[in-house]
Amino acid sequence: MKPAPFKYIEVADEEALTSALADYGDDARLLAGGQSLVPMMNFRVVSPEVVIDLNRVGALSYIDCRDDVCRIGALTRHAMIEDSDPLSRRCALLGQAVRNVAHRAVRNRGTTGGTLALAYPGAEIPLALMTLDTDIILRSKRGERRLGMKDFVLGALDTSLSGDEYIRQVEIRMPPPGSAASFVETSRRHGDFAIAAAAVVAARDDHGRLDYLRAGVAGGTGAPVRLTALEEALSGDDPDDGRMADSVHEAIAAIEVFGDHHYPEDFRRHVLKGVLQRALKDAIVGSERRHVR
Amino acid sequence: MFGERIALDLEVNGKPLSGVAEPRTLLSDFLRHNLGFTGVHVGCEHGVCGACTVLLDDQPVRSCLMFAVQARHHSITTIEGLAKGGEMHPVQDAFRRHHGLQCGFCTPGMVLTAVDLIQREPDPSERSVREGMSGNLCRCTGYEGIVQAVLAAAKDLKRQSQSNRTEETQ
Amino acid sequence: MQIDRPFPQIEGRLEDARLLFGRGRYIDDLPVGPSTLHAAFTRSPYGHATIAGINKDAALAVDGVVAVYTAADLGAVLDPFPSIVRGAPEYRGIATGKVRYVGEPVAVVLARDRYAAEDGVSALDIAYEALPAVVDVDAAAAETAPLLHDDFGTNVVWRNRYRYGDPETAFREADRIVGIDLKFPKYNSTPLETYGVIAEYLPETDGYVIHGNFQGPFSLMPVLARALRVPDSRIRMVVPQDIGGSFGIKAMIYPYMGLIAACARLAERPVKWIEDRAEHLLGSASGTDRNSHIEAAVSRDGLVRAIRMNIRENVGAYLRAPEPSCVMRSLTTFSGPYRIESGEIEAACVLTNTLPTGLNRGYGGQQYMFSLERLMDAIARETGIDRIEVRRRNFLKAAEFPYRTTTGSYYDSGDYHGCLERALDYLRNEGWERMREELRASGRLVGIGVATCVHSAASNIGYVTLALSPEERAKRGYNAKSGTNDFAHIALDASGRLRVQIGTAGAGQGHATAVAQIVAREFGLGVRDIDVIDRIDTETTPWTITTGTYASRFSVVVGGAVQRAAARLADHLRIIASSLLDAPPDQIDIEEGMIRVRNSNSSLSLRQLAGAAQWNRGDLPDDVVQLHVSESYGAPNLRSPDSENRVNAAATYGFMADFAMVEIDPVTFVPRVLKYIAVHDVGTAINPQLIRGQIAGGIVHGLGGALYEHLDYDESGQMMSASFMDYLCPTASEAPQMSIDHFDAKSPFTVLGVKGCGENSAMSAPAAIASAVDDALSEFNGSIAELPVTPPAIWRQVAGAS
Ligand SMILES: Cc1cc2nc3c(=O)[nH]c(=O)nc-3n(C[C@H](O)[C@H](O)[C@H](O)COP(=O)(O)OP(=O)(O)OC[C@H]3O[C@@H](n4cnc5c(N)ncnc54)[C@H](O)[C@@H]3O)c2cc1C
Ligand code: FES
Ligand code: FES
């Protein structure tokens, strides 16, 4: 399990990165944390001719939370998100999601841009970002563009990135104060990719009515899915168990779910419902408590 | 250009070292075969087993998932560099006392992971030790001795740092 | 002289410092010269295909590649590996004509380093024509199944029938017949260190030097020597100081030792091969998966009078030595801890397009314990008798030992009721049943499971020959096989320090520590006063056909040899001291490094004695003997099988009482083992910490097989678990909290009274966990007949019930 030979280009700033991508484009792979790329190269599942290492582009590594927006640089390591106080205060969902990603040694290297570009089904961070209102900022020599998560992740291992582009930044519009987040996932072992995962954030208005609800699921769904119909159906007065179960059932019935050798489609749907219901309950109950206080 | 070789300088266990490697040479192979740090063990080469864990600028990372060239100008700690002056690090000593190792193949990665875990969480519960160590596979011990060792090491280190503090204030 | 002292203990082990400082010496750490070539295998991407052509040109053109060999090339210096079953399809370790499983070696590339060798593998051009594959054992046994070995005419490569006692009468007279169908999965214990071989050919002597992390049994050395066409002693086998886990699978490295040695001979340079993880999962070896039917003739009060079993064992694409031995535990100890006096076992080994099998910690034990214990649970269910009570009623009683089973196994000692009671004490003191009720009341699915099993240790090599019929064994020219034995060497150097040499090829079991304890006890010394060399170099280490670390034999066989050698050396020292101190030898005591005449002040130190004996030999009387002793020890009561297929399969038989508590998430159906109790009769405990370590590790291996680890294939023969992302080894998070204790029903037959413990719960845990899952699913009438228990499998049971 040794990688095939490649040409190694290390870039120190975004300008060099942009031109390297313009020069090598489709023949090249960006190397960020390497926690997915290097295993694939070791297995020789991919053998890029050129590897562009962006680890020394320090300007892409930051967490900047101001006003209602949180900006995260593409090279920000998962561990930085895990350890970030502003994020855990203002955007608890992401912090919860990241704790479910692999193990600390992997999180010390793995990056926000890497996990987004990979778009692995069952990956936690893309689910959290899909659930929140997130824009992805992409850049190339041709210029910069901004895509909503939904337009960015197209399916399992499929994104809108073109060969000469890189992910520069993630912009999250933060949930209102007093919101509660719940990230629930099921996997066979601690730290594995999710068989099924659900992310929910809920907040209430002054009268205690649910006026902000964000819900998403991943695992067997190709790209993570934001469940807007369910969000609408459950906003307002607190749903009782029956209404919640019905909405969850409808929401999961409406999305595309794939089975595989280990987890058949009907099982996946069953579990997606289960984790979603749990996450909804957690977040809704959590937000209530906050309001009362 | 294939077959290209790159000169690199890095620091291992506090000593500046240099070598030459192909861009594709994995850091694990470079440390083991070019520099002779055979305490870096290789169990999977895809990031799961944790046997190859080293500290990169004091943070645990998988050395099988980095290219040697990426370690240029970084400082690395391998298991060989943990003990100071021939004295076991408290984590090593706890592994010894609690039978935290059998074949020893997972041990370097386990010990380095535990050092970091205790640094971040000086007073861990059994559950957080189990979760914190879950990125490292052991096929011999059933993790019993390892979990006990990490819990004991955390206590020892805490006691040590407390007594250091009292010494300082005295 | 009989010494009666407890074994001295130390904190930690003699091995620990080396390993903790990162100074272990594993196979990949050994220095190699610049002329050494590095090997990588090209492996089949197909489960079943004809090799239509191999073009080496592109691979040979790769920078750094030196040679590419296929079966045709290697055949010039390497013959097929002999099989236990005569006439079985040829096994060469590398594909000829056809590939029969994904991962089967097709060619080997030698290059300046492993990176270049893999470049050669990528470039090698092989044309395949795909054939239909078959991976399920019953499908492969069907007449219409695709044939793996066309000339052989069937995929059923071996079958045999065994009959003990009078099963017909027992079944005719039974009040009830309880039968179940079971599937046991394919998995293995997957040591963290993979295989590694460094081989060199010596043309001067027509011999080989092979370094490899080979654990034994050394009975595989003649198999290797035959394939390499040299006498056994022309292979110098060197096992490195440290092995990163073995668990049986490192016996099955032998075909690779043959292939790499043959490469070295053809290339006229040393060749090194370190297996990678993907190769290990795809192409090393595994335990066998098994479909079986088992039924019991049961009396009204729950007593089992007889058992019938039909076993279809999946041995993968080739039947290779030591298969079909995996089946044999299901015969020789089919009755486990129970008094079952009749049995009929029909067994077949079937070839499929999957990885060939071999030893896996407890070789054949987990399969048979799973069947027998699932059956006991089924009997409890059907008779309405409590699960534990059914077992108690059928247990052999302490007064019955030694007990000869109907299959000829000679159970040396035990107190099954007492040992189980001790385990139940833990269960009660830890409040398991209360905890189960509380968790259930809060809506969780929780269950407690039990397994009570016999673990045999120090296997009789003769059991392997049960694969042959009594008629074949009676033929003239047939060489019978039996026993298990080993050596130990002990010497006193001129400075008075004791050094012991053993050859076990251990992999972290702490052999050096245990040996030092045995010797230290004999001489009244501290454990650290003894030096132990526990490496194998067949040029200098004494070894036997049965040498190796397997079948929990170390403490019984090697321990026995060490004890004998130590005692004999002590006797020698007494004789020497007797002439120096002028006292009769039987008045001389040795302790704490001193040699003392009893009831007198006359004494000398070990150092003085050694000095005198080494430097002043001339002044000592002629009958004084030397300062080094070699002893061999053969385990007792082990004969070759008789004409009724009866054989004592092992030197000693311990007992295990295991309990598992399992929780299943009621929504996601993810199971978790919360707690585990293991109380095992291991006979004399030389080192309780090492025993606990062995049992704990075994529990997690059994847990892996029960819930996580599975080498599974899709219909086309692709392996669905060819990386550690999909082959799920349990982590510290999945490992349960354990209560481990040992119970001492000393063996009256082994030298130290020991009973071994290396494989224990690796065999029993799958059964105990399955039992707990049943209990957790009791409201759905769940019953686990197949492992691993995955969330979808549980979901199907629950959905089926509601
Ligand atoms: C043992 C193990 C367990 C894991 N478990 C999980 C898990 O449970 N959940 C989970 O979500 N992940 C898991 N991962 C994956 C981990 O989170 C990865 O870090 C992540 O998916 C990829 O991030 P990276 O920075 O390492 O990217 P890399 O591996 O460097 O790159 C991945 C891909 O993204 C591209 N890329 C990287 N950065 C950019 C960028 N800025 N712009 C455009 N393209 C870019 C690369 O070219 C490459 O194609 C696991 C990894 C390992 C080794
Ligand atoms: S060898 Fe690096 S994680 Fe296994
Ligand atoms: S001690 Fe052998 S793998 Fe952990």
Instruction: Give the model confidence (pLDDT) of C147-185 as tens digits.
Output: 999 999 999 999 999 999 999 999 999 999 999 999 999
Q: How far is C115 from chain B (nearest CA, A)?
A: 8
**Domain boundaries in chain A?**
7-53, 58-173, 180-292
Residues C95 and C54: their CA atoms lie apart, in Å, by 12
pTM (whole model) above 0.90:
yes
CATH code of domain A58-173: 3.30.465.10
Residue type, C386: D
* Interchain proximity C723–B97, CB inside 8 Å: no
Residues C91 and C321: their CA atoms lie apart, in Å, by 10
pLDDT band, residue C265 (cuts 50/70/90): very high
- Ligand in nearest proximity to the CA of B49: 2
C277-309 pLDDT, tens per residue? 999 999 999 999 999 999 999 999 999 999 999
- Ligand in nearest proximity to the CA of A61: 1
pLDDT band, residue C801 (cuts 50/70/90): confident
**Nearest atom in ligand 1 to A75's CA:** 41
Chain A residues whose CB is inside 8 A of the B4 CB are 7-8
Which pLDDT score, from 0 to 100, does residue A290 have?
60
Question: Before C671, cis peptide (omega within 30)?
Answer: no
C8-21 pLDDT, tens per residue? 999 999 999 999 99
Reply yes or no on whether the pLDDT at B1 is more than 70: no
Chain B residues whose CB is inside 8 A of the C18 CB are 104
Of C720, C726, C792, the CB nearest to A267: C792
Enter the tokens of residue C24.
Answer: 């272990």
Q: Which fold has domain B90-165?
A: DNA polymerase; domain 1 (1.10.150)
For chain A, the helix, strand and coil percentages under 3-state DSSP, each to the nearest 5? 40, 25, 35
Query: Among residues C264, C230, C211, which one has the least CA distance to residue C537?
Result: C211
The CATH superfamily assigned to B6-81 is Beta-grasp domain (3.10.20.30)
* Interchain proximity B53–A105, CB inside 8 Å: yes
Reply yes or no on whether the pLDDT at B131 is more than 60: yes
* Interchain proximity B60–A104, CB inside 8 Å: yes
Q: How far is B6 from chain C (nearest CA, A)?
A: 16
pLDDT band, residue C2 (cuts 50/70/90): low
* Interchain proximity C738–B142, CB inside 8 Å: yes
Concatenating the DSSP letter of every residue in C640-655 gives ---TTS----EEEEEE
Q: How far is A7 from chain B (nearest CA, A)?
A: 6
CATH 1.10.150.120 positions along chain B are 90-165
Contact between C246 and C239 under an 8 Å Cβ cutoff? The reply is no
Q: Which fold has domain A180-292?
A: Enolase-like; domain 1 (3.30.390)
Span C69-78, average pLDDT: 98
B 92-131 residues inside an 8 A Cβ radius of C: 92, 95-97, 99, 101-108, 111, 129-131
At residue C726, φ and ψ (nearest 5 deg) are -115, -30
**Nearest atom in ligand 1 to A35's CA:** 26
Which pLDDT score, from 0 to 100, does residue B170 have?
57
Reply yes or no on whether the pLDDT at C1 is more than 70: no
Question: What's the angle, vertex CA C112, arms to CA C109 and CA C115, rounded to 5?
Answer: 70
A64-85 pLDDT, tens per residue? 999 899 999 999 999 999 999 9
Which pLDDT score, from 0 to 100, does residue C713 have?
98
- From the candidates B20, B140, B151, which should be mutated to test the interface with C, based on the most C CB atoms within 10 A? B140
**B20 interface with C at CB cutoff 8 Å:** no
CATH 3.10.20.30 positions along chain B are 6-81
At residue C484, φ and ψ (nearest 5 deg) are -155, 130
C213-225 pLDDT, tens per residue? 999 999 999 999 9
Query: Ligand 3 pocket: which residues have CB below 6 Å?
Result: B 101-107, 138-141; C 192, 245, 508
Q: Give the sign of the dihedral formed by CA B151, CA B154, CA B158, CA B160.
A: positive
At residue C8, φ and ψ (nearest 5 deg) are -65, 145
Which pLDDT score, from 0 to 100, does residue B164 have?
83
Reply yes or no on whether the pLDDT at C237 is more than 90: yes
Q: What is the CA radius of gyration of chain B?
A: 17
pLDDT band, residue C622 (cuts 50/70/90): confident
The full set of domains in chain C, from first to last, is 16-23+485-634 (3.30.365.10), 32-131+190-283 (3.90.1170.50), 369-463+648-801 (3.30.365.10)
Which pLDDT score, from 0 to 100, does residue C433 have?
98
Least confident of B11-25, C1-15, C410-424: C1-15
- From the candidates A40, A106, A186, A188, which should be mutated to test the interface with C, based on the most C CB atoms within 10 A? A188
**Nearest atom in ligand 2 to B42's CA:** 1
For residue C322, how many other CB atoms are within 10 A of its CB? 22
C559-612 pLDDT, tens per residue? 999 999 999 999 999 999 999 999 999 999 998 889 999 999 999 999 999 999
At residue C11, φ and ψ (nearest 5 deg) are -80, 125
For residue C188, how many other CB atoms are within 10 A of its CB? 28
Reply yes or no on whether the pLDDT at C67 is more than 50: yes
Nearest-by-CA chain C residue for A3: C115
Span A211-218, average pLDDT: 97
B47-87 pLDDT, tens per residue? 999 999 999 999 999 999 999 999 999 999 999 999 998 89
Which pLDDT score, from 0 to 100, does residue A177 have?
87
Burial C417-443 (b: 16+ CB within 10 A, else e): bebbebbbebbeebebeebbeebbeee
B118: which residues sit within 8 A by CB, 6+ positions away?
B91, B124, B150, B153, B154, B157
B89 lines ligand 2 (CB under 6 A): no
C441: which residues sit within 8 A by CB, 6+ positions away?
none
Where residue C650 falls (left for φ over 0; alpha for ψ -120 to 50; beta otherwise) is: beta
Reply yes or no on whether the pLDDT at A292 is more than 70: no
Query: Among residues C692, C693, C707, which one has the least CA distance to residue C660?
Result: C707
* Interchain proximity A188–C728, CB inside 8 Å: yes
Nearest-by-CA chain C residue for A102: C725
Which pLDDT score, from 0 to 100, does residue C367 have?
97
Reply yes or no on whether the pLDDT at A293 is more than 50: no
Which pLDDT score, from 0 to 100, does residue C4 have?
79
Chain A residues whose CB is inside 8 A of the B60 CB are 104-105, 108
Contact between C504 and C549 under an 8 Å Cβ cutoff? The reply is yes
B27-44 pLDDT, tens per residue? 999 999 999 999 999 999
Query: Ligand 1 pocket: which residues have CB below 6 Å?
Result: A 29-37, 39, 74, 101-102, 106, 109-111, 113-115, 117-118, 120, 123-125, 161, 166-167, 191-193; B 47-48
Which pLDDT score, from 0 to 100, does residue C620 have?
84
Of A7, A31, A102, the CB nearest to B135: A102
Span C648-670, average pLDDT: 97
> Could you say which architecture CATH assigns to the domain A7-53?
2-Layer Sandwich (3.30)
Which pLDDT score, from 0 to 100, does residue C800 have?
81
* Interchain proximity B26–A42, CB inside 8 Å: yes
Largest Cα span, chain C: 91
pLDDT band, residue C355 (cuts 50/70/90): very high
